[in-house]
A and B are shown apart, each in its own frame.
Chain A
């Protein structure tokens, strides 16, 4: 139903709870489907890509770039990802990303996709000073081998 290109971000926060009526929820689903690149009120934008571009079942390399509102890289974060399937009842997988030594604000890691289908990533970047950026990133159509 909601699909975002890999590389753009949907701005739903997992803990966000403002959907009091189904109609509202429906609207929100529509709204999140066309959300602009990733500002969830924290001014940051999150861009990610996989190698290969359409991830395949197994371990896939991910690159996440964090920039602030001015387009400056957000470096020095601890970035953790929880990968879940869109279908309930599947065991999530976890990954800790490492900042690239040569490109500040770019974080690299591997995501383990255990099954084909639609996935989403819960990304959390946190800084020692308490700043935090959280995003839900859609990864539709992970291919089965």
Chain B
């Protein structure tokens, strides 16, 4: 087994699991999960029986403003911490104590196809049912995640729900390519002489389980499919698993074959996931600025329909299928002539698509960061009120009227995130171009760079539009 890092790293590597208190805290997954379970229970309860007014309800506020913001910020400054603390895994683990799953997830469905459909479905439902404005629907969504994880994993072995279905998981897997932390081995030589492979198969005494996502630590390349659950670290008898610092985006630069994932250039499903992730970032932001309503009315007129679902369907198809096919197809057509071996259009797209992910992360971070930062303190009075409603008035009188950071402060942060994302994309695309077209890297790079700048311009324009968050768009 070769475990040498695929690219030389200039930054000194630190292992967070070796930091005294921090390492122990990170390894206490159950504690984090229980905390998240208690929080989810509070949100579901408030979503179902609390006031059905989004800004006054913990379900809508905590999920769509604070949780989404913290999720993407955690991915940017650390890693896939939400999956580490995922509460959906608790009832699922409990159910597995009662009944061991015996079936294998069908081979045909093993890629990301189902996960992509699930991710797009959640984003579609978000717009169609105005989940952001509906506490009880948000509560149902949370319950749906619990039920989905428990049912799927009661039937199928391994972490089928996480790896192949969970929309949050797919989002986190893509975004964590930009995380500065990665689970990897401490010493390659220790893995080389290891015969038990407990990080994959589980501890010999049956105590700690091995990687349920099928990742073998010494052969792992990047964060794709890794939930940061640290089962591997608990299972390894040689204490050889690290949560190590690395260059964010490093895994997008090379085309190393990673355990359980394979080579990116051989995984069209991963490319599609990255593309959907990036274009959905634009679409989700577009969903809340004023020009979208004019466009939706236009679509409705052309179709001669008054069905929100149909208009939204057309918008989704245009933004997540037609637009990427045209734009990436054009970039691939213009660049493939310069590539070694002149691969086909699809193969070219699959090789370069990951280069757009940093920009996608930048757009999601700018958008969710906006809501999180401008609404930062609004959680305080809503929690005070919810806890008081639950019969525990110890948090005092709700302080209505608190907000967050001013838009004049948040806007530069948003633009900074977009720019950083675009720079990251350009850097990754340049390294892909140098790899795929060593003789004419500039020719190969130029069309993709132009596409990045086009998407950046679209994102800047979108986030500079006046926000307009509306539930109904078809009535004038």
Query: Which residues of A pack against B, CB within 8 Å?
Result: 1-3, 12, 14-17, 19-22, 25-26, 28-29, 57, 82, 84-92, 94, 115-118, 120, 136, 140-145
Can you give 14 A-B contacts (C-beta < 8 A)? A15-B51, A86-B132, A87-B133, A88-B54, A88-B61, A88-B65, A88-B132, A88-B378, A89-B65, A91-B375, A116-B290, A116-B467, A144-B466, A144-B467
Measured CB to CB, the closest approach of chain B to A20, in angstroms, equals 6
B467 & A115 in contact (Cβ 8 Å cutoff): yes
- The segment from B395-403, B417-425, B426-434 that touches chain A is B395-403
| Main DSSP-derived SS at the A contact region | loop
A91 & B403 in contact (Cβ 8 Å cutoff): yes
A115 & B468 in contact (Cβ 8 Å cutoff): yes
B33-70 residues with Cβ-Cβ distance < 8 A to A are 48-57, 60-61, 64-66
Query: Which residues of B pack against A, CB within 8 Å?
Result: 48-57, 60-61, 64-66, 129-130, 132-134, 136, 139-140, 288, 290, 371-372, 374-375, 378, 389, 400-404, 466-472, 475
A-B contact count (CB 8 A): 133
B471 & A140 in contact (Cβ 8 Å cutoff): yes
- Beyond A3-B471, A87-B469, A116-B467, whether A25 also contacts B48 by CB under 8 A is yes
CA distance A20 to B378 in the complex (A): 25
CA distance A15 to B471 in the complex (A): 23
Return the 4 tightest CB-CB contacts between A and B, nearest first: A89-B375, A91-B403, A89-B65, A116-B468
- Beyond A22-B139, A118-B470, A120-B53, whether A89 also contacts B371 by CB under 8 A is yes
A20 surroundings in chain B (CB, below 8 A): 48-49
A82 & B400 in contact (Cβ 8 Å cutoff): yes
A85 & B472 in contact (Cβ 8 Å cutoff): no
CA distance A88 to B375 in the complex (A): 8
With CB as the reference atom, state the residue of chain B lying closest to A91. B403
- Beyond A89-B61, A91-B403, whether A19 also contacts B55 by CB under 8 A is no
CA distance A52 to B34 in the complex (A): 51
B54 & A87 in contact (Cβ 8 Å cutoff): yes
CA distance A29 to B378 in the complex (A): 24
B374 & A89 in contact (Cβ 8 Å cutoff): yes
Measured CB to CB, the closest approach of chain A to B41, in angstroms, equals 15
A141 & B470 in contact (Cβ 8 Å cutoff): yes
A88 & B57 in contact (Cβ 8 Å cutoff): yes
- Beyond A82-B400, A117-B467, A140-B471, whether A87 also contacts B55 by CB under 8 A is yes
- Beyond A84-B55, A94-B401, whether A145 also contacts B466 by CB under 8 A is yes
A143 surroundings in chain B (CB, below 8 A): 290, 468
A140 & B470 in contact (Cβ 8 Å cutoff): yes
- Beyond A88-B57, A118-B133, whether A17 also contacts B468 by CB under 8 A is no
B375 & A86 in contact (Cβ 8 Å cutoff): no
- Pick the contact of A17: B66, B389, B402, B469 (CB < 8 A): B389
With CB as the reference atom, state the residue of chain A lying closest to B62. A88
- Beyond A116-B290, A116-B466, A116-B467, whether A87 also contacts B132 by CB under 8 A is yes
- Beyond A21-B48, A90-B374, A91-B378, whether A84 also contacts B53 by CB under 8 A is yes
- A86-B133, A118-B472 given; name 9 further pairs at CB < 8 Å: A1-B134, A14-B56, A15-B51, A86-B54, A88-B132, A89-B55, A91-B374, A91-B378, A143-B290
Measured CB to CB, the closest approach of chain A to B128, in angstroms, equals 10
B468 surroundings in chain A (CB, below 8 A): 115-117, 142-144
B290 surroundings in chain A (CB, below 8 A): 116, 143-144
- Pick the contact of B400: A15, A17, A92, A145 (CB < 8 A): A92
- Beyond A86-B54, A86-B471, A92-B55, whether A19 also contacts B48 by CB under 8 A is yes
- Pick the contact of A115: B52, B54, B372, B466 (CB < 8 A): B466
Measured CB to CB, the closest approach of chain B to A63, in angstroms, equals 23
Measured CB to CB, the closest approach of chain B to A118, in angstroms, equals 5
A57 surroundings in chain B (CB, below 8 A): 466
With CB as the reference atom, state the residue of chain B lying closest to A26. B136
B372 surroundings in chain A (CB, below 8 A): 89
- Pick the contact of A85: B52, B140, B469 (CB < 8 A): B469
B472 surroundings in chain A (CB, below 8 A): 1, 3, 118, 140-141
- Beyond A88-B65, A89-B374, A90-B375, whether A118 also contacts B469 by CB under 8 A is yes
B56 surroundings in chain A (CB, below 8 A): 14, 84
A136 & B467 in contact (Cβ 8 Å cutoff): no
CA distance A29 to B52 in the complex (A): 9
A141 surroundings in chain B (CB, below 8 A): 470, 472
